[in-house]
Amino acid sequence: MTSSNEFLKNLVNEEKQQIKAFQYKLVSKWYWFLIFGILGLGGGLMYTFYSPHKYQAKCTILVQNESNALRGKEFFDDDGSLRGINVQDHIGVLKSSSLSKQVLINLNWNVSWYQKMPFFNQDLYGLAPFYVYKTDRRENPNDFPLFVKMISEEEYMVRSDNTILESSEISYFEAKGKFGVPFENEHFSFVLEKNNDVIVPLEAEFFFVFNNMENLSVQYADNLNVTLEDLKGNLIELELKGITAQRIVDFLNELSEEYIEFCLSEKNKISKNTIRFIDMQLEGVVDSLEQTGHLFSDFQSKNQSSNLEREADLAMADLKRLEEEYALSERKLNYIRNLNQYINNSVQFSKVEHHLQQDFGNELVNNSILSPSVVDITDPGLNNLVLKLGELYGKKEILSYSVKKNEPNMLVLEKEIRHTKQSLKENLQNLLVNTENDLSSIARQMSGVKSKLVRLPKMEQKFINFKRRYDLNNDLYTFLLKKRAEAEITIASNVPNSQILDRASLMSTNKVGPKTILNLIIGFLIGISMPFIFIKTRDYFNNTIGSIYELERETSLPVLGVISHNRHRKDFLVCNRPRSGITESFRSLRTDLENLLAENKQKVISVQSVMPGEGKSFVSLNLAAILAMNNEKVLLVEADMRKPGLNRVFGSIRSNGMSSYLKGEDAFDDIIFQTKFENLSFIPAGPVPLNPAELLANGKFKGFMEKARIQYNYIILDSAPVSVVTDGLLSGKYADLNLFVLRHHFSRKEHVNYINKLVDKGSVKNVTILLNDFRANGVDVKDFGYQSGYYKDNYLPKGKI
């Protein structure tokens, strides 16, 4: 349990140290953050300056639940006004792309003009330099920019956009054209005319596109924001954003007008259909009236018979009255049968017109049907049911703009339609029986009157027939004119269910972008994040030893200490600068070695490295010097016979050394060189041999070490890199301590793993690790107790990240 707690504690401490180290890296590069923060602010300011302004326009519409239209009598008491429509349905209509498309058509936005700016295209709405007119010769491609510049008062140059040719089937072209003359090629056909209200400089280039009205209407419908100002009220607010203030103002105002026109058209639909039907009926009645009038006048002129017997007059009046009643009852019966057939077949309401064509013409359109009052059916129950069914289908049409068939609102409406049909069917059944009885009764009465008329003189009978036909057509004509006038009165008295309360205007338009403060904040945050990302990324991909904690995490071998960075580029630093921070590092190393090797009277230390360049020779030299300064007899041996470098430090080149001794050419005392430093002796590598590994393994090196132990307190072996050759492993067998030198921010973590493998295989024993060229950050300085202000030369340099 104790070991587990200790492990967790060490893990937490290690994470804290990593965080502190990273924080120090950030703080040490504060000027990076300052510079990039200023650059980010500049970028945000440039974005604000070069970005197009964005505007927001609003308008408000009041939706009334009940129609304010004046109503007439009889049939027009229950017109087709849309009552009780949910405000959400109105919102759905306003958001529909079909309504937006009609608005675009009304505004004639088939073509858009732009001028290229450094970072965006400026919309020239209202300031178009030229007018573009399509021709019937060819359909122009949509959304393809054409660049135009005026080269004279009569001519212009037009070219295609070569930046999008790869994704287009249109090849690049450049051609001249004349104003007012059709321009044609294999893809385009249009006429360009100058706008005299706009001054266009020569060689100034603009471009235009033929808009795809379908796509453009979808874009406007998507960008349009329609909301209720009050959830319990009927005020609808329309909001639109765009880069051209006048364009969005015009669109909102035209959308409001088109929407109100749509609502009024829906209210007037039944009345307009009634007028169309009556007009068709009037055409036939007028012809019949003229024909019967001429026949009646001719008969009177030829026969001089304007006065008839009283009996004939009475018989004619009775027959006329009965025929009118029969015709009206027959029309009622046809009307009832057609409605009843519609109910039984359960077809769409609009399909009733097909069954009424034989008697009423072909004028029933737009999901509407005549009111029963047209055929003098005055039953209020039937009138209300027919009107209600028509109203429900009208409401269903409006609702279909915004909801789907399976949504609750539509399902409830379908259920109400079925219930109304059932009630209407029951009412029609009773009315059908009564009407058939009326027809039978009238037919019997007519038969009696006709029998009576047969007895009249033939001339009188013809006179009666002519007059009866004329009066019948004249009365029907008068009746239809009356009904048409009533329908026109209803249309004139209807008012829209909605009205514009606040129109969009330039004065009420707000500028909503670009947002300067927000852009500056975003630019600043992006700027300061760049050095943070760079430092974090470099740390992530950096595989070198960056701290003592990373080294301890990679190995379980003891880490003896660190040697500070040498900024003076001198080899014998402990002698030249005895009070520097790096000299103190070697003093600390000396103390640790004395404690570690306290039981050994004669101590052999093999200074090893994995790769060249890690500072093994520098450490060997200064370690030997710092030990000699402590009145210890020290022998520094250059055991790296392949690439020796210590010989140049002592200022002399000797022809003999370790290689000549191992070959048997020189004696032990002959290869020892006494340096100018007291207590420090040096044995150079000697001439570079062909087989240094074999020389170290031939047994003479063992004898050398035995002699050296007798004469010296410390023997420091500067060994060859172990990953390059095996010489270091051979010399390390005779050492009491193998001190592996790793270089800060140079040695890779793979080097530590390589040392671990050597220890695991038993290739080397008694291993400790020393971190050389250590560039301390604030965390490492605090933890290892190195304070630069303590030393005389104030030397503890700041390290690189």
pLDDT, one tens digit per residue, over 267-286 is: 777 777 777 778 887 777 77
Domain 571-578+601-774 has CATH 3.40.50.300: yes
Q: CA angle, 663 as apex, 662 and 667 as ends, to 5°?
A: 65
Among candidates 655, 663, 659, 622, which has minimal Cα distance to 639? 659
pLDDT band at 201 (very low <50, low <70, confident <90, very high): confident
In this predicted structure, the answer to whether residue 78 has a pLDDT above a threshold of 60 is no
More confident residue, 607 or 362: 607
pLDDT, position 798: 37
* Euclidean distance between CA atoms 74 and 95, whole angstroms: 38
* Euclidean distance between CA atoms 724 and 719, whole angstroms: 11
Distances, alpha carbon 131 to alpha carbons 157, 477, 495, 612, in Å: 15, 53, 38, 78
| Window from 100-109, 560-569, 695-704 with minimum mean pLDDT | 560-569
pLDDT band at 390 (very low <50, low <70, confident <90, very high): confident
In this predicted structure, the answer to whether residue 57 has a pLDDT above a threshold of 50 is yes
C-beta contacts of 513-517 below 8 A and 24+ residues apart? 513/51, 513/53, 513/54, 514/47, 514/48, 514/51, 514/53, 514/54, 515/48, 516/45, 516/48
Centre a 10 Å sphere on the Cβ of residue 171 and count the other Cβ atoms it contains: 11
pLDDT band at 113 (very low <50, low <70, confident <90, very high): very high
* Among 161-175, 382-396, 507-521, 538-552, the range of highest mean pLDDT: 507-521
pLDDT, position 782: 45
- Residue-wise pLDDT for 713-732, tens only, equals 999 999 999 988 888 898 88
Question: What integer best gives the mean pLDDT of the chain?
Answer: 80
* Euclidean distance between CA atoms 766 and 562, whole angstroms: 18
Q: What is the bridge-based pairing of β-strands 559-564 and 767-774?
A: parallel
pLDDT, position 311: 62
**Residues pairing with 562 in the sheet:** 771
* Euclidean distance between CA atoms 38 and 526, whole angstroms: 11
In this predicted structure, the answer to whether residue 245 has a pLDDT above a threshold of 60 is yes
Element holding 783 (H helix, E strand): helix 778-784
- Domain extent listing, the chain: 2-51+514-541, 68-244, 282-493, 571-578+601-774
Q: How many CA atoms lie within 13 A of 747 on its CB side?
A: 33
Q: Taking phi first (over 0 means left), then psi (-120 to 50 degrees means alpha), and beta for anything else, what does residue 383 get?
A: alpha
What is the pLDDT averaged over residues 126-139? 90
- Residue-wise pLDDT for 429-470, tens only, equals 888 888 888 888 888 888 887 776 775 666 666 776 777 777
In this predicted structure, the answer to whether residue 16 has a pLDDT above a threshold of 70 is yes
pLDDT band at 352 (very low <50, low <70, confident <90, very high): very low
What is the pLDDT averaged over residues 657-680? 89
In this predicted structure, the answer to whether residue 642 has a pLDDT above a threshold of 80 is yes
pLDDT band at 777 (very low <50, low <70, confident <90, very high): low
In this predicted structure, the answer to whether residue 81 has a pLDDT above a threshold of 50 is no
pLDDT, position 375: 62
What is the pLDDT averaged over residues 328-351? 68
Are the C-beta atoms of 18 and 480 separated by less than 8 Å? no
pLDDT, position 487: 74
- Residue-wise pLDDT for 228-243, tens only, equals 887 666 889 999 999 9
What is the pLDDT averaged over residues 478-489? 80
What is the three-class DSSP state of 715?
strand
In this predicted structure, the answer to whether residue 494 has a pLDDT above a threshold of 70 is yes
In this predicted structure, the answer to whether residue 613 has a pLDDT above a threshold of 80 is yes
Are the C-beta atoms of 254 and 504 separated by less than 8 Å? no
In this predicted structure, the answer to whether residue 71 has a pLDDT above a threshold of 50 is no
